[in-house]
């Protein structure tokens, strides 16, 4: 089973984010690109590289509600909370040393009495950055009015 994500370039400032479940249901929203696109792509890269099945994209598939999930990532706890704790620093520090970012995130998780996931490492950060490089290139190559389509395997 897979969740299809469609990102359509509407204008220099906005894009449409659409997700479609295997049963054909889903949601489409117009979003401010500067505020949402990179965050959503980092989520895709992190969740795909780590093989996560309890974070943003899997939750969209199971329960939906982009706005609710975007606002409640940390409130959901568990894997979704850990994912948010990884996505934020990766989005904010795109060029810092991978091993240093991984250790910084792990220290923060321990400070919050959370156990860092086994997959959190410098090699993982490098893999996410490579996937982001490809995703950003694909987005930049998508003409206005056209759609970039991603597939998230929700069953792993």
Q: Tens digit of pLDDT for each residue in 46-97?
A: 999 999 999 999 989 988 788 777 655 555 778 988 999 999 999 988 778 9
pLDDT beyond 90 at 136? yes
Total domains, the chain: 1
What is the reported pLDDT for 70? 66
Q: With contact defined as beta carbons under 8 Å apart, do 77 and 90 qualify?
A: no
Helix (H) or strand (E) holding 13: none
**Residue 58: beta bridge partners?**
none
What is the reported pLDDT for 100? 94
Which residue range is the domain that position 130 belongs to? Answer: 2-153
What is the reported pLDDT for 95? 77
**Residue 40: beta bridge partners?**
none
**Residue 20: beta bridge partners?**
4, 26
Band (pLDDT 50/70/90 cuts) for residue 4 is: very high
* Distance of alpha carbon 1 from alpha carbon 154, whole angstroms: 6
* Distance of alpha carbon 32 from alpha carbon 35, whole angstroms: 6
pTM, full prediction: 0.93
* Distance of alpha carbon 43 from alpha carbon 24, whole angstroms: 22
* Span 7-30, average pLDDT: 96
């Amino acid at each position: 089973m897979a969740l299809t994500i469609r990102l359509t370039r509407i204008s220099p400032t906005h894009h449409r984010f659409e997700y479609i479940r295997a049963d054909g249901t889903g949601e489409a929203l117009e979003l401010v690109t500067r505020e949402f696109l990179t965050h959503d792509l980092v989520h895709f890269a992190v969740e795909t590289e780590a093989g996560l099945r309890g974070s943003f994209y899997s939750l969209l598939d199971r329960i939906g509600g982009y706005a609710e999930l975007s606002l409640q990532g940390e409130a959901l706890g568990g894997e979704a909370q850990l994912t948010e704790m990884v996505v934020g620093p990766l989005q904010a520090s795109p060029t810092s040393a991978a091993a240093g970012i991984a250790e910084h995130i792990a220290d923060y998780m321990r400070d919050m009495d959370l156990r860092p996931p086994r997959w959190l490492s410098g090699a993982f950060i490098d893999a996410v950055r490579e996937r982001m490089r490809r995703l950003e290139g694909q987005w930049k190559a998508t003409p206005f009015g056209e759609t970039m389509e991603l597939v998230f395997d929700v069953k792993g």
